[in-house]
Amino acid sequence: MTEDDDPYCLRPGESPELLSGHPWRRFVVLGDSVAEGLCEPVEGYSELQWAERIAAELRAVQPSLEYLNLGVSGLRTREILGTQLEAALMFGPDLALVVGGGNDAFPATYDADRVDRELTLMITTLQGAGADVMTLGMFDVSYSPAVADWLRPGLRQRMRTLSLHTMDLAESLGTIHVHLTDHPLSTDPGLYSSDGRHGNARSDAVATAETVRTLGRWLRAATADRSSARPGPR
């Protein structure tokens, strides 16, 4: 299989149709390795990592889009908050992607409430500065064949908790939420890289498709809301 015939990837012409007329001009990404991009190559799939691909799809519709990726591998949410939020605000984004919590959830010391507080602060600060914010429910890396069997049950529970908590935050704070944890391929060992902590190029291609489709639904809903708010004829 290649990306061109993968049923979970974008179809030709799908992205520009979904993103047509999008309003965003300045896109910033905050996060860890998922944001930075550690994409292990897979034959037949683009090697352009997820956030870069989202920027490219947005730019294909709006060529003047400015893009800044602040993601750094290995960071926990408190480190993302402490080292990236100020730079993100200085960029003046109207669209921000916040990805964090995976490195917090990998060890058994995961503190879900603390991660929630740190994600909330980043999200609300960016929203207060005028940005639409995207959040992520990650693919469940506990299904990677490189994860040790003894680690798998606890990691799966923590990744599920992180995903559910992030989804709750997205609902309460009004983010554009990309939910990959329950994707049909999330349990497919072939989606993950050999390091046992990340996805591969197919993972990024599938995540790109889901992100573009989520943005498309959000744009349609926003258009419908504006139409319903217009006063009718007198």
Q: Which CATH superfamily is domain 22-225 in?
A: SGNH hydrolase (3.40.50.1110)
Residue 53 CA from chain centroid, whole number: 11
**Higher-scoring residue by pLDDT: 191, 1:** 191
Residues in Cβ contact with 178 at an 8 Å cutoff, skipping those fewer than 6 apart? 134, 135, 136, 137, 207, 210, 211, 214
What confidence score (pLDDT) does residue 223 get? Answer: 82
Q: How confident is the model at residue 127 (pLDDT cuts 50, 70, 90)?
A: very high
* DSSP annotation of 3: G
Residue 156, classed as helix, strand or coil, is: helix
- Token pair for residue 62? 């709006």
Please check the confidence at residue 153 and state whether its pLDDT lies above 70.
yes
Global pTM reads: 0.93
Select from 142, 50, 149 the least CA-distant residue to 102: 142
